[in-house]
Amino acid sequence: KPTKPLQGIKILVTAGPTREIIDPVRYITNRSSGKMGYALAESAAALGAEVTLISGPTALKPPAGVTFVPIETAQEMYEEVLKYFPDTNIVIKAAAVADYRPKIIYDNKMKKGDGDLVLELERTIDILKTLGEKKEKQILVGFAAETENVQAYATKKLKTKNLDMIVANNVKQEGAGFGVDTNIITIYTRNGEVMEYPLLSKQEAAKEILMKAATFLE
Ligand code: PMT
């Protein structure tokens, strides 16, 4: 039986949105459906990798054969990612992690008053940046969801987060980004390579991302 290209490789994928809790009935979230991250997890498993999928709440069924770790908040995602990180070869962060969360979580439902409400937010931890600081042999792949200046913002994230590659998608482009079954990606690598892809299904895009990431393994 021929060996599969990612046989023996441990891959950690994050997917979906996070939910940042305001009170027992309300939260802040974003438009991520999880489709990109689940496609990565499914393709990685099909290519022979040992896959862990850490996911925020989505409507999707976890792919067969992957270790599935459901989380809700950015803080929970951070804690789970750190548990798996030391024993991982490639990390792919397709999740749309909230950058801010409510500073106070109310134990009981907030009651409305007559006036407006100001909700104070504080920064969440940047998971990918933390991994970039801790990394030893792990290959780190980030995503950049942008609406303008895609190349400049993506390459800045590649450098400041100490990544091996970043997958940029302009989420304003039709057929790309949140919710849809397709994506239009550009991959930037730490070696200065730039790879632009046409409209692909998220499965096809996932395979390209995985095979490129694997070239960085020693
Ligand atoms: O889920 P889908 O509906 O299929 O949509 C796919 C997608 C648009 C969510 C996906 O393709 C994508 O772009 N994911 C990254 C979304 C994002 O949050 O991008 P960002 O540019 O804000 O963050 C940059 C990188 O840092 C990301 O890899 C992100 O996971 C990571 N990050 C961000 C904030 C934070 N606190 N911790 C992080 O690790």
55 Cβ inside 6 Å of ligand 1: no
Å from CA of 46 to ligand 1 middle: 23
Alpha-carbon span 73 to 66, nearest angstrom: 21
pLDDT at 86: 97
Encode pLDDT of 77-133 as tens digits. Answer: 999 999 999 999 999 999 999 999 999 999 999 999 999 999 999 999 999 999 999
Mean pLDDT, range 36-49, rounded to an integer? 98
pLDDT at 116: 96
* Assembly ipTM: 0.98
36 Cβ inside 6 Å of ligand 1: yes
DSSP assignment letter at 191: T
pLDDT score of 1 more than 80: no
Q: Is residue 1 part of a domain?
A: no
Q: Number of structural domains, the chain?
A: 1
pLDDT at 2: 75
Q: Is 30 a catalytic residue?
A: yes
Closest residue by Cα to residue 174 from 182, 186, 163: 182
Q: Is residue 69 part of a domain?
A: yes
Å from CA of 215 to ligand 1 middle: 22
Q: Is residue 195 part of a domain?
A: yes
Give yes or no for a contact between 46 and 61, defined as CB atoms under 8 angstroms apart.
Answer: no
Structural domain boundaries enclosing 178: 10-214
Q: Is residue 125 part of a domain?
A: yes
pLDDT at 218: 79
Q: Is residue 4 part of a domain?
A: no
CATH number at residue 107: 3.40.50.10300
Encode pLDDT of 155-213 as tens digits. Answer: 999 999 999 999 999 999 999 999 999 999 999 999 999 999 999 999 999 999 999 99
